Amino acid sequence: MVIKKWISSLLSLFFPRYCTVCKSVLLQQEDVLCLDCAVSLPRTQFHLQPDNAMEQLFWGKVEIRRATSFFYYRKGSRYKQLLYQLKYKGRKEIGESIAATMTSEIINTSHFFDSIDVIIPVPLHPDKLKLRGYNQSEWIAKGVSRIASLPINTKSLIRNKYTETQTQKSVWDRQENIKDVFQLVSSSELCGKHVLLIDDVVTTGATLTACATVLSAVPKVSISFLTLAMVEY
Ligand SMILES: [Zn+2]
């Protein structure tokens, strides 16, 4: 143990780790974010609020039990680095780490996870998976799974259409673009289960709506959503 600690401090001397947001050197017990940035992360606390702004995105579109997101993603926010690095810079461990922190906080303050049976990360198209090398939502799911002790299912729901980037599209275009993208390949494992769908960020809710619409074909299934961030205009 002593040797392990000694090696780790020696490593940090030669290979310092930096806060993803403010770039200050991380202390040994810090991970991804320094304490200051972790404390000031703009949390939504949606898990404490039934009918919260994220749940309202899905009203009249698809039936869900609950939805929550860890933090607000505002234009120009310095926290945008978290999602950018996670998605485009190969820093998959960011997803795992922030998701673990998020899950601990939710478990400590609410019953959000109590009835969840299984986690499904929003799938990537196989071509995109090859290109990026990993599915960022799956890494978020890993962090949730580790803390909440829940199984991850990556087999039942697949993505069979390659969609262009959604960022430049209108709300209507996004919904049209994402229609028929997902497919349910087996429903037996999910029958009667409460499924938690996980994505990195929610904007209009089109992707999660499309996934949930497909999943709702499973007999007696119920669905909740969890994302790391929610875009706030
Ligand atoms: Zn920092």
Report how far ligand 1's centroid is from the alpha carbon of 203 (Å). 25
Surrounding residues of ion ligand 1, Cβ less than 5 A: 19, 21-22, 34, 37
User: What is the average per-residue pLDDT within 146-156?
Assistant: 97
The answer to whether 68 and 54 have CB atoms below 8 angstroms apart is: yes
Cα 17 to averaged position of ligand 1 atoms, centre (Å): 11
Lowest mean pLDDT among 18-22, 127-131, 158-162, 222-226: 158-162
Residues 24-35: tens digit of each pLDDT: 999 989 999 999
Q: What percent of the chain has pLDDT over 70?
A: 91
Q: Which two tokens stand for residue 163?
A: 């969609």
pLDDT at residue 176 greater than cutoff 70: no
pLDDT tens-digit readout, 184-195: 998 999 999 999
Q: How far is the CA of 87 from the centre of ligand 1 (A)?
A: 19
Residue 9 has pLDDT above 90, yes or no: no
Rounded distance from Cα 38 to ligand 1 centre (Å): 7
Residue 103 has pLDDT above 90, yes or no: yes
* Per-residue pLDDT band at 172 (split at 50, 70, 90): low
Mean pLDDT of 38-45: 97
42 has a pLDDT exceeding 60: yes
The Cα 51–Cα 49 span in angstroms is 6
Name which of 124-128, 212-216, 217-221 the model is least confident about: 124-128
- Give me ligand 1 centre to Cα 27, in Å: 11
Task: Please report the pLDDT score of residue 53 as a whole number.
Answer: 97
Rounded to the nearest whole angstrom, what is the distance from the C-alpha of residue 26 to the centroid of ligand 1? 8
Please report how the helices 80-88 and 136-148 are oriented relative to each other, as an axis angle in degrees rounded to 10: 110
Specify burial of residue 144 (Cβ count, 10 A radius: 0-12, 13-18, 19+). buried
Burial group, residue 231, by CB count within 10 angstroms (0-12, 13-18, 19+): middle
The domain segmentation of the chain, as residue ranges, is 1-39, 41-232
Give residue 11 CA to ligand 1 midpoint distance, Å.
20
CA of 30 to the centre of ligand 1 (A): 10
**Per-residue confidence (pLDDT) for residue 7, from 0 to 100:** 74
User: Is the pLDDT assigned to residue 168 strictly greater than 70?
Assistant: no
44 CA to centre of ligand 1 in angstroms: 19
Across 197-226, average pLDDT = 97
Q: What is the mean pLDDT of residues 145-160?
A: 96
Closest CA to 226 of 192, 190, 200, 194: 200
Q: Using the mean position of ligand 1's atoms as its centre, give its distance from the Cα of residue 90 in Å.
A: 19
What digits encode the pLDDT tens for the residues 45-95?
999 999 999 999 999 999 999 999 999 999 889 999 999 999 999 999 999
Using the mean position of ligand 1's atoms as its centre, give its distance from the Cα of residue 114 in Å.
32
Ligand 1 centre distance from Cα of residue 76 (Å): 16
Distance in Å, CA 121 to ligand 1 centroid: 28
Q: Which of 67, 107, 74 is nearest to 211 (CA)?
A: 67
Percent of the chain with pLDDT over 90: 80
Asked if 84 and 127 count as a contact pair (C-beta separation under 8 A), the reply is: no
Fold of 41-232: Rossmann fold (3.40.50)
